[in-house]
């Protein structure tokens, strides 16, 4: 003889719903907390330690170096000839310009 399962009583249903909603609220709270922590870590300014490099100075130096070079990075490292002095007017007669 098979015994049919009894339907859950009203107090049991209410308790199960409360436990489920509480679990969902905790998971949502953990996700929001993790998101806030990740965002705050990404937006913090780095603390300059004694003797550490400073990014603002390095950026300024890079801008000065970029302005000094005639935008010829290959010529700067010696891989290709530079474009300075390659005009034909400044070359000696009878010799091709380099």
Rounded CA-CA distance 66/64 in Å is: 5
Per-block mean pLDDT, blocks of 10 residues, the chain (98 long):
74 94 98 92 64 63 57 79 59 54
50-76 pLDDT, tens digit per residue, is 666 666 666 666 565 555 555 777 877
- Give pLDDT, residue 43: 66
Let me know the angle formed at the C-alpha of 64 by 76 and 42, rounded to the nearest 5 degrees: 105
- Give pLDDT, residue 46: 57
DSSP per position, the chain: -PPPPPPPPHHHHHHHHHHHHHHHHHHHHHHHHHHHHHHHHHHPPPP--TT---HHHHHHHHHHHHHHS-S-HHHHTTSS--STT--STTSPTTS---
């Amino acid at each position: 003889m098979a015994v049919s399962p009894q339907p859950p009583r009203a107090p049991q249903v209410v308790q199960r719903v409360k436990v489920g909603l509480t679990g969902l609220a905790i998971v949502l709270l953990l996700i929001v907390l993790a998101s806030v922590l990740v965002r705050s870590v990404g937006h913090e300014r780095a603390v300059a330690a004694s003797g550490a490099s400073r990014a603002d100075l390095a950026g300024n130096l890079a801008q000065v170096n970029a302005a000094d070079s005639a935008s010829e990075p290959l010529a700067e490292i010696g891989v290709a000839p530079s474009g300075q002095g390659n005009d034909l007017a400044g070359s000696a007669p009878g010799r091709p310009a380099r």
